Amino acid sequence: MIRIKSINEFNEYRKNKIGYFLIEDKPTKIKTLHNVSCPHINIRFFEQKVINNQEKNGSYYWCGGFKGIISEEGIRECLVCKK
């Protein structure tokens, strides 16, 4: 897993359309796995959580594969991506 720290990194992963975003929400302790092309993922949410709030409430990660990630405790799959 690779932590995404900049808008440029976010846009590159999104543009490549390969892999998954894992969004960690610290207040709720929920980690949600999204396909990089998920309509619920957008730059505004990334900017708010990572850039403006300096990851105080959570982080974004990129991972190349689904296997192994979803089996980790506390990670759930996005319901939109799952369909």
Q: pLDDT tens for residues 59-80?
A: 999 988 766 666 666 788 888 8
CA distance 37 to 57: 23
Kind and range of the H or E run holding 13 = helix 7-16
Cβ neighbours around 3 below 10 Å, total: 13
Q: Which of 31, 44, 41 is nearest to 77 (CA)?
A: 31
Q: Which residues pair with 2 in a beta bridge?
A: 62
Q: Backbone dihedral region of 22: left (phi > 0), alpha (psi from -120 to 50 degrees) or beta? A: beta
Q: Is the dihedral of CA 43, 44, 48, 51 positive or negative?
A: positive
pLDDT at 25: 92
User: What is the rounded average pLDDT of the residues 35-63?
Assistant: 92
pLDDT at 70: 64
pLDDT at 67: 66
